């Protein structure tokens, strides 16, 4: 009887978790011309649409629609002749299925190896990632330093690793800075950063990298949002601060990737606290973005490459993202971007989309100001990119990238990183002029 009650409570807790998505659906939207893509951009702004995967010309994106938006948005797409079809019929059920998959996989992992430190067959809670960073720093004190420059709004540590053979003292070495998890729901992002740590210290196959470069690796910029996306609202994107405006206690959080001081609060961002792309009450209102800003400035004169990991879309994007103009370094940005994409594509699975490389406004066809890669480039980091990692579950039941592909994405992304880091080294060997 007791087992029955416990089982019943467990399942009702699981299925009650995603109640807020009852009646929600997601749709593929596939613009086939630039004009159609532009129109999708107009609809996005008009209805404040939440694209969890961005479309490009000839490449479908995915938009999630609450029940009240389904009729007007599909009608507008129909009227414009823009191809669309249902992606997930019932979001709540899909999230429940994802939870069950993750739970099942967690049990398998535990049974198989007693809880390996950082498994890549599942998405990991923030505590597991923090433990991993702490353990790596303890185990490799010669090269690894754990830094906790600040705590998040809700008091979680924002932690990163500095990895260097000279404790960052050889100032002739270029610095590589990679962050992840600024958008909390993009769960595939943090493992690609911890995988880079794994490849730099635990399973070294490219020893030249640590010889020539210093690394800063910050897997989860936004630990509060990340936690909240596990416990409560799967599609949570923002931070969790409640001190931004009068309505912030009701509508917490700021979009970290609209909060940087680069044409802040001008394009593709909202000044309404409840919006998913709310830019905050001022640039750098968030402790989480201030941490990234301070790292960028600390080693500005020798940071050659900054990468920020997002999902989904299989894209490598660069400045300027607010208006589609190109920076003076556009040729190098494009060359290195293509080099990274080619390296990834070589290892990619046949049913994963090929990477696209370009100016973020032109590839996505929507402008967004206040993004971290634009800020990094604007202050003088010569190579700065947003990665949109591959997703979603392809032909499978769940909503997210199936956990069985996490390791694949980590491995192929690592190939891209290696190519990009080496090219950055050739271009900016001690001669960065911010």
Under rule CB under 6 A, residue 386 binds ligand 0X9: yes
- Measured from the CB atom, the residue of 256 and 403 that comes closer to Zn ion is 256
Cβ-contact 349, 218 below 8 angstroms: no
Q: Which stretch binds Zn ion (CB under 5 A): 182-190, 197-205, 320-328, 351-359?
A: 182-190
Strand (E) or helix (H) holding 224: helix 223-231
Task: Name the burial class of residue 420, with classes exposed (0-12), middle (13-18) and buried (19+) by CB atoms within 10 angstroms of its CB.
Answer: buried
Q: Which of 373, 372, 289, 282 is nearest to 336 (CA)?
A: 373
Chain CA centroid to CA 121, Å: 18
Q: Exactly one of 84, 310, 356, 422 binds Zn ion (CB under 5 A); which one?
A: 310
Query: Is residue 234 within the footprint of Zn ion (CB under 5 A)?
Result: no
> Which of 368, 383, 392, 400 contacts ligand 0X9 by CB under 6 A?
368
360 makes contact, choosing from Zn ion, ligand 0X9, none, with CB < 5 to 8 Å by partner type, with ligand 0X9
* Whether 388 is catalytic: yes
For ligand 0X9, the closer of residues 36 and 255 by Cβ is 255
Binds Zn ion (CB under 5 A): choice among 84, 156, 162, 183: 183
CA–CA dist 417, 78 (Å, integer): 41
Alpha-carbon distance of 198 to 274, in angstroms, equals 38
Q: Which of the listed partners (ligand 0X9, Zn ion, none) does 368 bind, with a CB threshold of 5 to 8 Å by partner kind? A: ligand 0X9
Tell me how many residues contact Zn ion (CB under 5 A).
3
Contact 63, 29 (CB under 8 A): yes
Task: State yes or no: residue 185 binds Zn ion (CB under 5 A).
Answer: no
**310 binds ligand 0X9 per the rule CB under 6 A:** yes
Pick the closer one to ligand 0X9 by CB: 230 or 320: 320
- How far is it, in rounded angstroms, from Cα 252 to Cα 280? 10
Place of tokens 């490389």: 357
Report the run of H or E that residue 144 belongs to, with start and end. strand 144-151
CA 93 to chain centre: 24
Q: Which of residues 183 and 227 has its CB atom nearest to ligand 0X9 in the complex?
A: 183
**Residue from 371, 406, 417, 424 that binds ligand 0X9 (CB under 6 A)?**
371
Stretch that binds Zn ion, among 176-184, 202-210, 317-325, 361-369 (CB under 5 A): 176-184
318 CB-near residues (< 8 Å, 6+ apart): 327, 330, 333, 334, 337, 358, 359, 360, 373, 377, 384, 385, 386
Active-site hit among 286, 388, 412, 426: 388
Residues 6+ apart with CB under 8 A from 165: 142, 143, 210, 211
Tokens 């002029």 identify what position? Answer: 433
Strand partners, 51: 63
Contact 382, 304 (CB under 8 A): yes
Distance CA 133, CA 429 (A): 29
Among the residue ranges 172-180, 183-191, 192-200, 279-287, the one whose residues contact Zn ion (CB under 5 A): 183-191
* Angstrom distance (rounded) from CA 383 to CA 380: 9
Q: Which is nearer to ligand 0X9, 220 or 371 (CB)?
A: 371
Select from ligand 0X9, Zn ion, none the partner in contact with residue 412, using the beta carbon and a kind-dependent cut-off of 5 to 8 Å: none
Binding piece for Zn ion, criterion CB under 5 A, among 99-107, 310-318, 361-369, 425-433: 310-318
Nearest approach in angstroms of CB 385 to ligand 0X9 is: 9
From candidates 50, 179, 374, 402, binder to ligand 0X9 by CB under 6 A: 374
Identify the CA nearest to 401 among candidates 239, 210, 187, 94: 187
Site for ligand 0X9 in 30-59 (CB under 6 A): 54
The interface partner of residue 303, options being ligand 0X9, Zn ion, none and the CB cut-off 5 to 8 Å by kind, is none
Give which of 417, 197, 153, 129 is closest to 288, Cα–Cα: 153
Scanning 38-46, 139-147, 150-158, 365-373 for contacts with ligand 0X9 by CB under 6 A, the matching segment is 365-373
The yes or no reply on residue 314 touching ligand 0X9 (CB under 6 A) is no
Known catalytic residues? 388
Query: Residues interacting with ligand 0X9, by CB under 6 A?
Result: 54, 183, 186, 257, 310, 317, 321, 360, 368, 371, 373-374, 386, 388
Query: Residues interacting with Zn ion, by CB under 5 A?
Result: 183, 186, 310
């Amino acid at each position: 009887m007791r087992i029955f009650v416990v089982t019943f409570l467990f399942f009702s807790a699981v299925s009650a978790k995603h109640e807020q998505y009852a009646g929600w659906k997601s749709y593929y939207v596939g613009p086939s011309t630039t004009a159609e893509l532009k129109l999708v951009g107009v609809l996005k702004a008009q209805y404040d649409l939440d694209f969890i995967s961005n479309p490009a010309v000839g490449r479908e994106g995915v938009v999630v629609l609450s029940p009240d938006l389904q009729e007007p948005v599909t009608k507008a797409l129909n009227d414009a002749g823009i191809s669309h079809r249902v992606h997930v019929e019932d979001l709540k059920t899909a999230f429940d299925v994802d939870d069950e998959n993750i739970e099942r996989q967690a049990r398998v992992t535990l049974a198989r190896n007693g809880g390996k430190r950082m498994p890549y067959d599942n998405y990991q809670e923030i505590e597991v990632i923090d433990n991993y960073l702490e353990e790596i720093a303890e185990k490799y004190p010669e090269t690894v330093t754990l830094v906790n420059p600040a705590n998040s709004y809700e008091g979680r540590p924002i932690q990163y690793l500095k990895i260097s053979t000279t404790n960052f003292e050889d100032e002739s070495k270029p610095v590589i800075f990679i962050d992840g998890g600024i958008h909390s729901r993009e769960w595939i992002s943090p493992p690609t950063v911890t995988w880079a740590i794994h490849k730099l210290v635990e399973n070294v196959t490219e020893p030249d990298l640590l010889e020539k470069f210093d690394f800063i690796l910050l897997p989860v910029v936004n630990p509060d949002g990340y936690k909240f996306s596990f416990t409560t609202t799967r599609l949570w994107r923002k931070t969790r601060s409640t001190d931004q405006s009068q309505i912030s206690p009701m509508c917490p959080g700021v979009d970290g990737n609209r909060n940087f001081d680069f044409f802040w609060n001008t394009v593709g961002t909202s000044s309404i606290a409840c919006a998913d792309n709310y830019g905050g009450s001022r640039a750098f209102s968030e402790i989480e973005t201030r941490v990234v800003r301070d790292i960028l400035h600390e080693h500005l004169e020798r940071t050659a490459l900054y990468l920020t990991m997002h999902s989904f879309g299989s894209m490598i994007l660069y400045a300027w993202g607010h208006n589609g103009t190109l920076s003076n370094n556009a040729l190098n940005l494009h060359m290195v971007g293509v080099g990274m994409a080619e390296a990834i594509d070589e290892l990619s699975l046949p049913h994963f989309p090929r990477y696209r490389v370009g100016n973020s406004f032109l590839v996505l066809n929507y402008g967004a100001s206040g993004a971290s890669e634009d800020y990094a480039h604007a202050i003088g980091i010569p190579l700065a990119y947003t990665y949109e990692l591959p997703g979603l579950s392809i032909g499978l039941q769940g909503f997210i990238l199936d956990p069985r592909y996490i390791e694949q994405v980590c491995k192929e992304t690592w190939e891209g990183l290696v190519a990009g880091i080496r090219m950055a080294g050739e271009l900016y060997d001690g001669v960065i002029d911010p």
